[in-house]
Amino acid sequence: MEAVIEVHDLVKEYIITKKESGLRGSLKSLLFPQKTIVNGVDGISFSIGKGEIVGYIGPNGAGKSTTIKMLTGILHPTSGSIKVCGISPQADRKSVVRKLGVVFGQRTQLYWDLRLGESFELLRRIYQIDLAAYEETLAILRDVLKLDEFMDTPVRQLSLGQRMRGDLAAAMLHAPSVLFLDEPTIGLDADAKHAIRNFIKEINRTRGVTVILTTHDLDDVEQLCNRLVVVNHGKIVEDGPIDTIIHKLAPYRLLVVELKQPCEDLVHPAATIIKQDGLKIWYQFEKKRISAAELISDLSQKLPIQDLSVKEPDIEDAIREVYKTTSAV
Q: What does the alpha-carbon distance between residue 177 and residue 327 come to, in Å, rounded to a whole number?
A: 36
Among residues 48, 66, 77, 99, the one that binds ligand ATP under rule CB under 6 A: 66
Using CA atoms, how far apart are residues 298 and 293, in angstroms rounded to an integer?
9
Smallest separation (angstroms) from ligand ATP to the CB of 312:
18
Single out the residue of 21, 36, 60, 309 in contact with ligand ATP (rule: CB under 6 A).
60
Least distance to ligand ATP, CB of residue 107, Å: 12
Pair 82, 88: CB distance under 8 Å:
yes
127 touches ligand ATP by CB under 6 A: no
137 is an interface residue for ligand ATP by CB under 6 A: no
Minimum distance from residue 221 beta carbon to ligand ATP (Å):
14
Site string for ligand ATP, 12-31 (x = CB under 6 A): --x-x---------------
Calpha distance 284→213 (Å, rounded): 29
Q: Is 254 in the site for ligand ATP (CB under 6 A)?
A: no
Q: Which helix (H) or strand (E) holds 255?
A: strand 252-259
Residue 45 neighbours by CB under 8 Å, 6+ apart? 7, 8, 9, 10, 80, 236
The alpha carbons of the chain give a radius of gyration, in whole angstroms, of 23
* Contact call for residue 73 and ligand ATP (CB under 6 A): no
Residue 177 found at the interface with ligand ATP (CB under 6 A):
no
Q: Is 196 left (phi over 0), alpha (psi -120 to 50) or beta?
A: alpha
Residue 63 binds ligand ATP, judged by CB under 6 A: yes
CB atoms under 10 Å from CB of 176, counted, come to 20
Of residues 70 and 141, the one with the C-beta less far from ligand ATP: 70
Contact 221, 246 (CB under 8 A): yes
Cα distance between residue 233 and residue 110, in whole Å: 33
Among 4, 5, 7, 40, binds ligand ATP (CB under 6 A): 40
Instruction: Indicate which single residue of 7, 44, 54, 62 sits in contact with ligand ATP (rule: CB under 6 A).
Output: 62
- Establish if 109 lies at the interface with ligand ATP (CB under 6 A): no
- Contact status: 232 vs ligand ATP (CB under 6 A): no
Interface with ligand ATP by CB under 6 A: which residues? 14, 16, 38, 40, 58, 60-66
